[in-house]
Amino acid sequence: MHSGDVNKLKQYMEKIENLEVEKSEIQEQISDVFSQAKSDGFDVKIMKRILKLKKMRTEDRENEDLLLDTYMLALGLVPSDDSEE
């Protein structure tokens, strides 16, 4: 490997290591915010679920909701419309 390539590799490695440190610090800050929300009475599990849903495309979210409803109905976790008759 040429010395120029070695220097580039070292720079990339250093940059990645610095970003990993920043990522860790940001994750700690996110955890702190979740802790604050929990202490204010918010359900952190639901907040995380909402964050996941917000990242999804509407079509994907709707498909997931449909599958969830279908599976829950099949497993008897929600009453079917037929049971009201």
* Domain-embedded: residue 85: no
pLDDT at 80: 74
pLDDT at 72: 95
Supply the pTM of this predicted model.
0.71
* Domain-embedded: residue 84: no
Count of the separate structural domains present in the chain: 2
Q: For residue range 3-49, what is the model confidence (pLDDT) as tens digits?
A: 889 999 999 999 999 999 999 999 999 999 999 999 999 999 999 99
All residues at 6 or more sequence positions from 18 whose CB lies less than 8 Å from its CB, including other chains:
none
**Farthest-apart Cα atoms in the chain, separation:** 80
Residue 75 has pLDDT above 90, yes or no: yes
pLDDT at 82: 64
Angle between helices 44-55 and 3-39 (to 10 degrees): 130
Do residues 20 and 52 both lie within one domain?
A: no
